[in-house]
Structure 1
Amino acid sequence: MEKQGRGTMDSNFISSVHNERVKQWTQLLDRKGRDKQGRFLIEGVHLVQEALGSDIPPDVLVFSAERRDAVAGLLREAETRGLECVAVTEAVLAKCTDTETPQPVFAVVPKLPWRAADLLAASEKAGLVAVIDGIQDPGNLGTIIRSADAVGASGVLLGKGTVDLYNPKTVRSTMGSLFHLPIVQGDLTEWLPQAAERGVRIVSTRLENAVSIYAYDFRQPTWFVIGNEGQGVSAAVQALAGDHVQIPMQGRAESLNAAMAATIVLFEAMRQRG
């Protein structure tokens, strides 16, 4: 039985995995369901806390009735904001989450509202944008977003063929950084030329005819393109880059992990910008 109510003191309670709302939440584990509903799931105390502190509050907070004490602080904060809180059984929690050992809480959040035009506006004042061209591993994408957040980048642009931002593994690996800066999806062949027309330098990594990242001037408005783990930056996108850089390496490693390489470049840009 599902009772009606809001807040933590008279929370709804759902015990059955066959409940209609549970079915809706479970659909959010798949991209098709996320696209249809325009929402995604976040799991765990830290991510829910980050969402509560952002400009994109959750639609609903769902917690384990058996582990209420573990999320008491979150429930109080959610209650003060007038957010709906729903207590559920451990079976329901396991049904709706992606991890083997479910956290005591998850939340349903609207997809981020940012658009590529927001990045263009931010780039007019020496902006720094990480551009993702076909990254497939959700952990790599999440790490790059965390690095972009850490260096104070203006935002992140996700090109076609990139893993879904709202994939549960991607969301977890951002550690909440997806709530800290604009992250948008768009066609790179459309948006990179528009950025270049506004004076933004489009920079990509490659081995041939490239300068060291330590010799390149990242103090100017820059959109830095990070390519696919195996193939690198696609030919179509590479052709749109006006500048090319490489990371000098003295050891015998042939290459670096995509997320690691992106992090090195982003932190060098931060160092130059002071």
Structure 2
Amino acid sequence: MTSYYEQNAAAADTIRSAQNPRVKQWAELLSRKGRDKIGRFVIEGLHLVEEALSSESMPETLVYTAERFDVVSPLLRKAKAAGVECVPVTEQVLAKCTDTQTPQPVFAIVPKLPWRPADLMKASLPDGLVVVIDGIQDPGNLGTIIRSADAVGATGVLLGKGTVDLYNPKTVRSTMGSLFHLPIAQGDLGEWLPQAAAAGIQVASTSLAGAVPLYDCDFRPPTWFVIGNEGQGVSPEVDRLASQRVLIPMAGRAESLNAAMAATVVLFEAMRQRLG
């Protein structure tokens, strides 16, 4: 139960102006340029904030609307117990700093994830499974792939150049919190795929040319699986670095699968083999 004192204290400290310097900085995080400059990103909504508070990627600041104090009070207690700064704002300020048309009553500021490609290399042996993203452009697709990687217990995700920003608000929402559950790093695929192969890791990619049917492939060894751009697929320069090319058999008349669906099919086949 929220106390009278807590409600009134929140109301007294509420940031009400969109011109407040902190509000301007939070709003900057809606752009990639702002996120790169400040080194932080925004997560919106009760579920994502709860996931962050339960992870190693602890938010620095939790911002909530004073008008809906009762809705967020259990989350506030958890955040304050973890030493997270909690700042009340008006609904108008909340709307300025969030990406959704109907904002939830809370968002948080989180430092960018600390993972590096070298972390994925270390975690890949003896039997790791890493999803490698080569130029995915749609934030929803990237978020879905991260969720699928999380669902099958993958070791991590490597984002190559030209891929949509991991910290795009739509990407973050699409992960449903999975970006806090496994390592996600960004790196040059031309540098890291050869290093993975040299370490004895199988590098596989989806391809129509010279590809082996998915169900004939062995995903039990350590594997980095490359999923390509929605329109062009895996780029030729990256495809040349793969030691295995995989084709998803289809019995119907569809020409191809959505990139996120294709990645999910491969990931769950890899999980089936590893559990079997």
Q: TM-score range by the shorter chain?
A: over 0.9
Q: Is the 8 A contact 1:210 1:246 kept in 2?
A: yes
Q: How does 1:94-105 map to 2 (within 5 A)?
A: 94-105=95-106
- CA–CA distance in structure 2, aligned partners of residues 9 and 74 of structure 1: 18
Give unpaired runs (5+ residues) of structure 1. Answer: 1-6
Partner of 1:222: 223
1:241 Cα deviation (Å)? Answer: 0.3
CA distance in 2, matches of 1:246, 1:132: 17
Following superposition, the deviation at residue 208 of structure 1 comes to: 1.7
Q: What amino acid does structure 2 have at the position aligned with 1:183? A: I
Shift of 1:8: 8.9
Question: What amino acid is the match of 1:265?
Answer: V
Name the SS of the counterpart of 1:40 in structure 2: strand
- Aligned residue runs from structure 1 range 80-99, under 5 A: 80-99=81-100
Superposition map of 1:257-272 within 5 A: 257-272=258-273
Give the Cα separation in 2 of the matches to 1:40 and 1:239.
34
The Cα offsets for residues 124-159 of structure 1, whole Å up to 9 and x where unpaired, read as 121000000000000000000000000000000000
Tell me the SS of whatever aligns to 1:42.
strand
Distance in 1 (alpha carbons) for counterparts of 2:70 and 2:126: 46
Shift of 1:193: 0.3
Code of the residue aligned with 2:74 in structure 1: it is G
Counterpart of 1:45? 46
Aligned to 1:130: 131
Aligned partners of 1:155 and 1:181 also within 8 Å? yes
Output the amino acid matched with 1:200.
I
Distance in 2, matches of 1:95 and 1:210, equals 49
Query: Which TM-score applies when normalising by structure 1?
Result: 0.96
- Looking at structure 2, the residues matched to 111 and 162 of structure 1 have their Cα atoms a distance apart, in angstroms, of 16
Question: 1:209: how far off?
Answer: 1.1
- Paired with 1:10 and 1:38, the residues of 2 have a C-alpha distance of 31
1:273 corresponding residue in structure 2: 274
- Kept after mapping to 2: 8 A contact 1:8/1:79: no
State how far apart, in whole Å, the 1-side matches of 2:179 and 2:76 are: 22
**By how many angstroms is 1:176 displaced?**
0.1
* Pair 118,98 (structure 1): closer, same or farther in 2 beyond 3 Å: same
Q: Distance in 1 between matches of 2:200 and 2:98?
A: 44
Q: CA deviation at 1:9?
A: 8.4
Higher mean alpha-carbon deviation, 204-213 vs 44-53, is at 204-213
5+ unaligned residues in a row in structure 2: which ranges? 1-5
Match in the other structure for 1:70: 71
Q: Counterpart in 2 of 1:171? A: 172
Aligned to 1:3: none
Q: Is the 8 A contact 1:8 1:75 kept in 2?
A: no
Task: Indicate how the Cα distance of structure 1 residues 8 and 25 shifts in structure 2: closer, same or farther if over 3 A, else same.
Answer: farther
Per-residue CA deviation, residues 181-240 of structure 1 (Å, 9 max, x unaligned), is 000000000000000000000000111211111110000000000000000000000000
Q: What amino acid does structure 2 have at the position aligned with 1:238?
A: D
1:73 partner SS: helix
1:147 paired residue number: 148
Give the direction of change, closer, same or farther, for the CA distance of 1:8–1:78 in structure 2 (3 Å limit). farther
Query: What is the TM-score with the length of structure 2 in the denominator?
Result: 0.95
Are the counterparts in 2 of residues 8 and 76 from structure 1 also a CA contact under 8 Å?
no
State the distance in 2 between where 1:44 and 1:123 align: 33
| Residue 110 of structure 1, CA deviation | 0.2
Aligned sequence identity (%): 72
Q: Distance in 1 between matches of 2:174 and 2:101?
A: 16
- Residue matched to 2:3: none
Output the amino acid matched with 2:214. Answer: I
When residues 242 and 8 of structure 1 are mapped into structure 2, their CA distance, relative to the original with a 3 A threshold, is farther
Query: Which AA in structure 2 matches 1:44?
Result: G
Q: How many residues align?
A: 268
**Equivalent residue, structure 1, for 2:207:** 206
